[in-house]
């Protein structure tokens, strides 16, 4: 029966009715205690190269419900930034975007929600690798919805040491200060990391998994560092990220949930029916490095 089942399997390539329309994708939060970075890009067909279609030459502005405005500057293609804005927590904030083609996009007003401090970032050594986790809590039980991302940096050695160099005329041995086999690399998180404590009596997150570093990874060869950032979410923002997590990371078997549409709090003012991808949050971020 097993052999029959295997022999009956055939590869299936679905015919995707993909649109050529390039919808606006908005990433980033309004940071209350540090620099704000907003990334604008466009969607594309699934069968194209893994390149980002950056949305350049846009006008991006943070606004509050007291009519104050804080413009952002494009520092790289599709990356818009502003220094610390020192935002007032008594106001609500939104993002206004005007693209180079004249279309205007506006988010809903969102509250400034401050993330509590991270209690600790720790690790557990396993045979499969090193599991990184985070602990946090809120004494006043006001957070309840958490999100994290991280940046890893590590030192490793090149496979072949370079003990000699050429000065153009001859080969000479490298001095200690000239050694170039020490290398450094960095990477950022790509998974959606969220947690909710709404079903708990106290607002405590314990041993929330952040990432696992495989035992065979070069990241563990010499030195490793990870910077974890923590965000406090509203219930609507948590629902957006949880749905995005299910749609991108928890599909593929008959027991997984069906994909569903993620609801955005961005709207196209020029065309109310146009899809916009992303969800705006605002607040102070807490972070910790080990």
Distance CA 198, CA 204 (A): 10
Specify the pLDDT at position 21: 79
Specify the pLDDT at position 263: 87
| 227: enclosing H helix or E strand | strand 223-232
CA 198 to chain CA mean position, Å: 23
Query: Residue 133: pLDDT above 90?
Result: yes
Mean pLDDT value across residues 190-205: 97
pLDDT above 90 as % of the chain: 76
Query: Residue 154: pLDDT above 90?
Result: yes
Nearest to 233 by CA among 287, 289, 279: 279
The more confidently predicted of residues 9 and 65 is 65
Query: Residue 254: pLDDT above 80?
Result: no
Q: Which long-range contacts (CB under 8 A, 24 or more apart) does 174-183 make?
A: 181/157, 182/155, 182/157, 182/222, 183/155, 183/156, 183/157, 183/158
Specify the pLDDT at position 245: 92
Query: Residue 9: pLDDT above 80?
Result: no
Mean pLDDT value across residues 13-25: 77
Distance CA 131, CA 212 (A): 4
Task: Determine the Cα angle at 186 with ends 194 and 127, to 5°.
Answer: 65
Range 192-215 burial, b when 16+ CB lie within 10 A, else e: bbbbbbeeeeebebeebebbbbee
Residue holding tokens 């106001």? Answer: 91
Query: Residue 195: pLDDT above 90?
Result: yes
| 152: enclosing H helix or E strand | strand 145-157
Residue 235 near residue 242, CB atoms below 8 Å: no
Specify the pLDDT at position 243: 92
Specify the pLDDT at position 144: 97
Residue holding tokens 């605002």? Answer: 282
Distance CA 61, CA 73 (A): 9
Residue 230 near residue 286, CB atoms below 8 Å: yes
CA dihedral 257, 260, 264, 269 (to 10 degrees): 180
Specify the pLDDT at position 19: 65
């Amino acid at each position: 029966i097993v052999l029959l089942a295997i022999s009956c399997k055939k590869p299936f390539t679905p015919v995707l009715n993909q649109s050529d329309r390039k919808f606006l994708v908005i990433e980033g939060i309004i940071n209350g205690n540090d620099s704000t970075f907003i990334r604008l890009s466009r969607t594309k067909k699934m069968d194209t190269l893994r390149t980002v279609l950056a949305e350049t030459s846009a006008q991006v502005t943070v606004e509050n419900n007291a009519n104050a405005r804080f413009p952002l500057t494009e520092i790289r293609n599709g990356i818009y930034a502003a220094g610390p804005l020192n935002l007032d927590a008594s106001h609500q904030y939104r993002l206004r975007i005007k693209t180079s083609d004249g279309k205007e996009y506006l988010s809903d007003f969102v509250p400034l929600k401050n993330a509590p401090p991270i209690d600790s970032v720790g690790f557990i050594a396993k045979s499969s690798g090193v599991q990184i986790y985070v602990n946090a809590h809120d004494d006043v039980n006001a957070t309840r919805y958490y999100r994290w991302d991280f940046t890893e940096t590590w030192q490793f050695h090149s496979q072949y040491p370079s003990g000699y160099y050429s000065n153009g005329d001859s080969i000479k041995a490298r001095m200690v200060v000239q050694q170039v086999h020490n290398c450094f690399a960095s990477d950022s998180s790509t998974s959606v990391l969220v947690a909710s404590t709404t079903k708990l009596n106290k607002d405590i997150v314990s041993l929330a998994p952040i990432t696992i570093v495989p035992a065979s990874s070069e990241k563990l060869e010499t030195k490793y560092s990870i910077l974890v950032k923590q965000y406090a979410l509203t219930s609507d923002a948590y629902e957006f990220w949880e749905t995005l997590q299910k749609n991108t990371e928890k599909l593929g078997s008959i027991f997984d949930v069906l994909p569903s549409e993620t609801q955005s709090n961005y709207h196209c003012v020029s065309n109310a029916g146009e899809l916009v991808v992303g969800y705006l949050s605002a607040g102070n971020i807490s972070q910790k490095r080990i």
